[in-house]
Structure 1
Amino acid sequence: MLPELRFGGLAVPTHGFFVGLGVLVAAVVFVLEARRRGALHEDSLVAVAGALVGGAIGMRLSGWAEHLDPHLNPSLLEAWMFGSRSILGGLTGAYVGVLIAKRLVGYRGKTGDLFAPAVALGMAVGRIGCFLTEAPGRPTGLPWGVHAPASVPECPGCLAGQAMHPSFLYEVAFQLAAFFALVWARDRVRRPGELFTLYVGAYAVFRFLVEFTRANETVWLDLTRPQWFLLPGLVLVFIRLLYGYHRGYYDMLVHKRDSRTHRGQEEGAPQAPQTR
């Protein structure tokens, strides 16, 4: 584990460095994608500001309602100062922040497709900091299991010297794959907002499954708090994706022949006469 990075005589917290670097990478990808789509203007940059502010608030306050018993939860000030810095809380806060920012400036355009690849690549970078500073995961006998020093906080496997799942590296790999998949799909999913919907659905499923390898505490039915947080969202995302599938939003991803016909009809392309 590497709690600090040193640049000459300057010591920088590893986790904070990679989170900051991830935010910077996400901002650059957002600007490049917005420019490519001709959507780089004042209103879209206001959405970015809303995401940054909302993400910071959501990440810091995510532990405020951690327990069902309110007496076990920290105060708002304690959560802000010493919160768990949950990624799910940050993403939820960022989403709400974008909605509020767009409402304040009266911007009705969809920005989710601009955020999707940016978030994926930014998360890939940020999770490197998690891997270098936090408990890797649950014990495993797999050959790629990793060891961590006993000084890592909240890590029973570290104390016991066990090999553990490199759960954060699993997420780095997923986010990198998601980024390249989104870049490939961005011109094939033409319905505004659907690229973001696909990313959210894929990440929700992945995060639910990868929690079985994470070192997070289980609270009920052997599921962790993030899994219980994700469950209702998974149901809603499944319904939303099913709706989009039946409406033909993803035809160019799953049915190439049908999608060409559908696109030709939409663009007014002449149809070849049928022969018997």
Structure 2
Amino acid sequence: MFPTLQDLLGFGPALDTHSVFVALGVFAALAVFFSEAKRRGFDEDRIIYVVLGALAGGAVFMRLGTWAQHLDPSRNLSLVEQLAHGNASILSGLVGAWLGAHVAKKVMRYKVRTGDLFAPALALGMAIGRFGCLFTENPGSPTGTGWGIVLSPAAAARLHAPAGVPLHPSFVYEIVFHAVAFVVLWTWLRHRAMAPGATFTLYLGAYAVFRFLVEFVRANDVAWLGMSRPQLFLAVSIPLLFARIAWEARRGRYSARHEPHLVKENA
């Protein structure tokens, strides 16, 4: 069970710490998303359904991504149990959000590319939401040095982590990555002349590489060939993402011939 804010601060409401920071991240992401949508002149009525599709797809796939952990189905939770109480996966949540947004756009017959809205919103939301993970989950593997997060015996027992040794603050690494990504996206890339949606591809590619590397200090279970399950997923995803980036670069989608603020109907 996750500790509450009251446990963390010594005062305040007995609210689940992880859920509070996830909610704060979602609200911040929505604020950025709709602010950018208004600036770029998107259809506010239809864009709401795209957001709802992304949220629904992300929420469902976030749970389903960790469902089939065992080849024997009897060892996995039932579908209802998994959706209600299963472990969450950010990576599968991103896939679900992407699918949900595209399904919503197909239903609404909305052909405008929305990646430039999602990129800075997602970066800020992830930076805030990861504080919930930092305060409630195993921070990482031992650093082998004198620096890092040192858990008390009680916290270590709850998190199934070693006590009394410095551990990598892997979630701090991720918070810094997403915070820097948000600054770059918000202050620089969104003003550059690139094709619609290009910034989202670049952000996902950068995060995929970063996440693959940080997994080495996340203390996640090794699944195969010395890699965790997220790394196995990323080992397949990263070449596809970079192939997409190379294809877009060859088509000049990152060049100055595109107008960054113009909303166009794209198939």
TM-score (norm 2): 0.88
How far does residue 35 in structure 1 lie from its aligned partner after superposition? Answer: 0.9
Contact 1:60 1:83 in 2 (8 A): yes
Structure 2 CA distance for aligned equivalents of residues 205 and 140 of structure 1: 21
The answer for unaligned runs of 5 or more in structure 1 is 252-258, 264-276
Go from structure 1 to structure 2 and tell me whether the alpha carbon gap of 1:9 and 1:122 turns closer, same or farther (over 3 Å shift): closer
Go from structure 1 to structure 2 and tell me whether the alpha carbon gap of 1:182 and 1:142 turns closer, same or farther (over 3 Å shift): farther
SS of aligned partner of 2:162: helix
1:86 to 72, 86, 89: 89
Aligned length: 252
Structure 2 CA distance for aligned equivalents of residues 246 and 124 of structure 1: 32
Q: Which one has the largest radius of gyration?
A: 1
Structure 1 CA distance for aligned equivalents of residues 97 and 51 of structure 2: 9
1:223 to 227, 232, 239: 227
Partner of 1:187: 191
Partner of 1:157: 162
Contact 1:30 1:118 in 2 (8 A): yes
How far does residue 9 in structure 1 lie from its aligned partner after superposition? Answer: 5.9
Partner of 2:238: 234
SS of aligned partner of 2:129: helix
SS of aligned partner of 2:48: helix
Identity score, percent = 50
The answer for unaligned runs of 5 or more in structure 2 is 259-267
Contact 1:63 1:73 in 2 (8 A): no
1:24 partnered with 2:12? no
How far does residue 40 in structure 1 lie from its aligned partner after superposition? Answer: 4.7
Contact 1:62 1:83 in 2 (8 A): no
Structure 1 CA distance for aligned equivalents of residues 193 and 119 of structure 2: 13
1:250 to 242, 251, 254: 254
Q: Which amino acid aligns with 2:160?
A: C
Partner of 2:173: 170
**Residues 1-276 of structure 1 correspond to what in structure 2 (within 5 A)?**
3-6=3-6, 10-150=13-153, 151-152=155-156, 153-158=158-163, 161-183=164-186, 184-251=188-255, 259=256
How far does residue 69 in structure 1 lie from its aligned partner after superposition? Answer: 3.7
Deviation per CA, 1:60-98: give whole Å up to 9, x if none: 222212234433322211211221111112111111111
- Aligned CA RMSD, in angstroms, stands at 2.0
Contact 1:218 1:225 in 2 (8 A): yes
Structure 2 CA distance for aligned equivalents of residues 144 and 192 of structure 1: 43
Contact 1:138 1:165 in 2 (8 A): yes
TM-score (norm 1): 0.85
Contact 2:5 2:12 in 1 (8 A): no
Structure number with higher relative contact order (C-alpha < 8 Å, ≥ 6 residues apart): 2
Go from structure 1 to structure 2 and tell me whether the alpha carbon gap of 1:76 and 1:147 turns closer, same or farther (over 3 Å shift): same
Deviation per CA, 1:211-269: give whole Å up to 9, x if none: 00102101111100000111111010111111122222224xxxxxxx5xx67xxxxxx
How far does residue 21 in structure 1 lie from its aligned partner after superposition? Answer: 0.5
Go from structure 1 to structure 2 and tell me whether the alpha carbon gap of 1:40 and 1:12 turns closer, same or farther (over 3 Å shift): farther
SS of aligned partner of 1:60: helix
SS of aligned partner of 2:14: strand
SS of aligned partner of 1:219: strand
SS of aligned partner of 2:167: coil
Structure 2 CA distance for aligned equivalents of residues 36 and 68 of structure 1: 48
Structure 2 CA distance for aligned equivalents of residues 162 and 181 of structure 1: 35
How far does residue 45 in structure 1 lie from its aligned partner after superposition? Answer: 1.1
SS of aligned partner of 2:183: helix
Q: Which runs of 4+ in 1 moved over 6 A?
A: none
Structure 2 CA distance for aligned equivalents of residues 40 and 106 of structure 1: 12
